[in-house]
Amino acid sequence: MMPSTLSPRSTTSTSSSSSSSSSSSLLSANLPPLYREFLSPLFEEKILCFEHCRVQTFALTLPEKCTQCRTKLTECSMNIPPFEVPSPFSKARDYPCSVVLKPTQGDFLKDYRNGTNLHIALTDSRGTVVEYDEEGIHQDRTKQWNRCIVLDLCDISSELTSDPDWGEYWDMILYEFLSASPVWTVDTYDELNHNCFEFVLSFLRALKQNPFSSLSRNKVKFCERFILPKTTVAAKYIALYRKIIQSGGAFSIQLPLKREKTLTEEVEEDDHLEERKGISNSDEIF
């Protein structure tokens, strides 16, 4: 489903990681409080962006020096201070009553390749992932969904999902749906026709609540409207992440210089402006 060809993830040596860790600790001590948070473990495998000396840099941790002019970042001001690039991935447990998506094996950032099979599932009102595969129904693998794509149903119908009884109704239908034995078992699983995707769409139809039920009647249209837009954004993020890895932890883009106008161009522009004013005044007269 993901319309992107991505490069393989490169590896780094243990000594390199150790050196990077020590320099990050030193930098953290010197950085202003505003920047220190970007060096914490919380930001592991998240993409940071900042701009200095007409260079836009993407990195997994804040470098000690500007990649272009080699100025220490603790000793200079930045055109754009560090910020976290919004990630298209989320933890499934943070999105109750939703549809979630991830690679069948591994995760998006490290393991996904163009053409890799994707796995789709549901979350209940507590954020527990309920999934169906060749081994049947599972409700014990939520931790494996810490970096997934969420199809947040609030985006489709906030009025319906904001109902205080929505979570209770969702769980009730889900329990009835799972109890419909032997529909979702190991024996009934079929890779093409009775799989995880059919499981999710069948549940949405069982809700009998539009627009969810009506939108889940056609697999192709459901993919085009809800899955492809999400995976397209994810593909770009993955490509950027792997570019950073291949570049040794930081990837920079030289921003174009704004060309100064020559004296002749400025005179011609002023003459043209005066000419336009004259035309405007003549229009008002007539």
Element (DSSP H or E) covering residue 52: strand 48-52
Checking if the pLDDT of 150 tops 80, the result is yes
Checking if the pLDDT of 38 tops 80, the result is no
For residues 133 and 189, the answer to whether their CB atoms sit within 8 Å is yes
**Cα–Cα distance, 282 to 276 (Å, whole number):** 10
Checking if the pLDDT of 44 tops 80, the result is no
Q: Assign residue 250 a region (left: φ > 0; alpha: ψ between -120 and 50; beta: otherwise).
A: beta
Give the pLDDT of residue 9: 33
**Cα–Cα distance, 223 to 221 (Å, whole number):** 5
Give the pLDDT of residue 155: 74
